[in-house]
Amino acid sequence: MKRPLKALATVLAALLLGSLLTAVPATAGERWRTHEGTIDGAHYLVKVPKHWNGTLVLYSHGLYVEDWPMERTYLATRPETEKWLLDNGYALAASDYKGVYGHVIEEALTDQIALLDWFRANVGKPRRTIASGMSMGAVISLKLAEDNPGRFDGVLTQCGEYDANGTWNSALDILFALKTLLAPDSDIDLVRPRDPASAQAALVALVTEASQTESGRARIALAGALGNLPGWANAHRPEPTAPADRLAEQASWVTGAYVYGYGPGARTDIERRAGGNPSWNAGIDYRRMLARSAQRDLVRYAYRQAGGVDLDADLDRLAAAPRITADPKAEAYMHRYTVAGGTTPAPVLTVHTTGDGGAVADQVRWYADQVRRNGDPGRLRQTYVNRGGHCSFNAAEEIVLLRTLLSRVDSGRWPTTDPHRLTAAATAYGPDYQLVPDLFDPEFKEKPVPPSFVRFTPPVFPRPSQ
C-alpha cells in the first residue's frame, strides 16, 4: 500500500525503536536471541544465533486460511530445518504480512523489505541474504529479489506458483468444465460471485454427487486434465499405477485444491485485492487443451469405464458454452504482484514434488522459459522430489538444497545437483530429518519418508497468463 514517504519514514522510525524493546537477549543456556514485534501492522519474528555466521535467511510463508489455526510464525518450511540453521549459525527472519490471511502478496512484498531494513538497522548488515519461500511464498521470494536487485544473494523456492494468475486461469478451466458438464443450467457464479457461500456450497454438492457415479467421475477427470492435475496426491504412499487409483487421487486434487481452494468462496478474496476478476477462458479450445494434457489417457480410460457418456460430445458442450472475460485492471494487478519475471538478479534454486496438484510442476517449466527470455539460465537450477502432495518435503531435503544454493552464492558455480548425490546427502541427516506432512491425511499426520530426488521433466503449463 502506498503512503507518503515522510509519513512512512516516521512510522518505521517509531516502530524500529519500539521493536528493540521486544528483543529477548540470549541467556547463558541459550544459543540465540529472539526479536518479535510489529512493523507497520505486520507481525515479525527474528532469531539470531550467539555466533552468527553473517547469513540471513528471510522466509516467506505460503497461503494462510482463517479456518486453519496458526500457532506460530514460521521461519522455515520445517521446524527441524529452523533448528538446524540456528544451530549452525544462520539468522532467520519472517513477517506474517499485514492481514496475515489470504493472497497477501502485495503486502508481503512491502513487509518483508521493511523487516530486512529493520534487521540491518538493529542487528547488522548480513554478509549474504537468502530469500526462501514455499507455495505462495515462492513467488513472493522471487518477486522480492526481482524488485530489489542487489539486496538478495540467492533464492530458494519450494512448491511454487510462479504464475499465480495462470493458476487462477487453470482453476477457472476446471470449475467451468465441472459446471458445464454436471449442471449446465445452474446459476453457480464461478467469477464475481453474488452469493459466494451459496455458490461454493452448490459447487461442492455438485461434485460430491457426481463422484458417486462412473459418468460423474469421468467428467471430474476431464476437468482435472484441463489443469494437468496428476493422479498422485498422497505423500506417504508410492505413486499409484492402477488407473482407478490414479483417478481417485486426481479427484482429490480437483475437490480439495480447486473446488475448495479456488471456488467462489476463494474468488472473493482475490477479486477484492485485484479490483475485479483476473481470470478468463474466452477463445480457449478445450479439445486442443485435452489433446496436449499429460492426463489425456487417464481421461479416455475413465470415459471407457463410464460407458454411457461420450467424450467428444462433452468436448462439444464445452466448446459451445458461453465464456468468461477478465477485467483488464485485475489482470494488470495480478501481473504486477503475482507473476515472476524470470530476471534472475541472483541465483535461483527451485524444488517441486512430481505429484503436486496444488501448484503443478508445469509452473517450474514455465518459469524456466521466462528465465531463458528475461534472465540468465546459468543462475537457475531446478530439482524435483519423487513424491505426491503439495510442499511435502522433509527437512533433510530442504537443508541440502539450502547448502547447495549457498555453495553457488559463495563460489559462483553450481555444485552437483545430480539426484542420486542430493538423495545421498539428504539421507545422511538421518530419520529425525525425514518427517513429511500429508495434506490429505484427515489428521494431517507426519510420517518419515526417505529423501527421493529424481530427474523429471514437467508437462507444459496449460494456461500461462503471458
Give pLDDT tens digits for 307-337: 889 999 999 999 999 999 999 999 999 999 9
In this predicted structure, what is the pLDDT of residue 440?
84
Burial of 417 (0-12, 13-18, 19+ CB in 10 A): middle
> Which pLDDT tens digit goes with each residue over 403-437?
999 999 999 999 999 999 999 999 999 999 999 98
Total length of the chain: 466
In this predicted structure, what is the pLDDT of residue 188?
94
Residues of the chain with CATH 3.40.50.1820: 5-164+339-454
In this predicted structure, what is the pLDDT of residue 253?
95
CB 338 within 8 A of CB 105: yes
Q: In which band, very low, low, confident or very high, does the pLDDT at 348 lie, cut at 50, 70 and 90?
A: very high
Given a cut of 80, whether residue 19 has pLDDT beyond it is no
Q: Which residue has the cell 514460521?
A: 74
Q: How many CA atoms lie within 13 A of 364 on its CB side?
A: 29
Given a cut of 60, whether residue 25 has pLDDT beyond it is no
Helix (H, G, I), strand (E, B) or coil at 147: helix
- Of the two residues 5 and 297, the one the predictor is more confident about is 297
For range 158-180, the mean pLDDT: 96
Q: In which band, very low, low, confident or very high, does the pLDDT at 122 lie, cut at 50, 70 and 90?
A: very high
Which region among 11-25, 32-46, 104-118, 448-462 has the lowest average model confidence (pLDDT)?
A: 11-25
Locate all alpha helices (DSSP H) within 34-163, ordered by sequence.
79-87, 105-122, 136-147
In this predicted structure, what is the pLDDT of residue 377?
98
In this predicted structure, what is the pLDDT of residue 5?
24
CATH classification for the domain delimited by 5-164+339-454, as one of 3.40.50.1820, 3.40.50.10860, 3.40.50.300, 3.30.70.1150: 3.40.50.1820
In this predicted structure, what is the pLDDT of residue 29?
53
> Which pLDDT tens digit goes with each residue over 350-383?
999 999 999 999 999 999 999 999 999 999 999 9
pTM score of the predicted model: 0.91
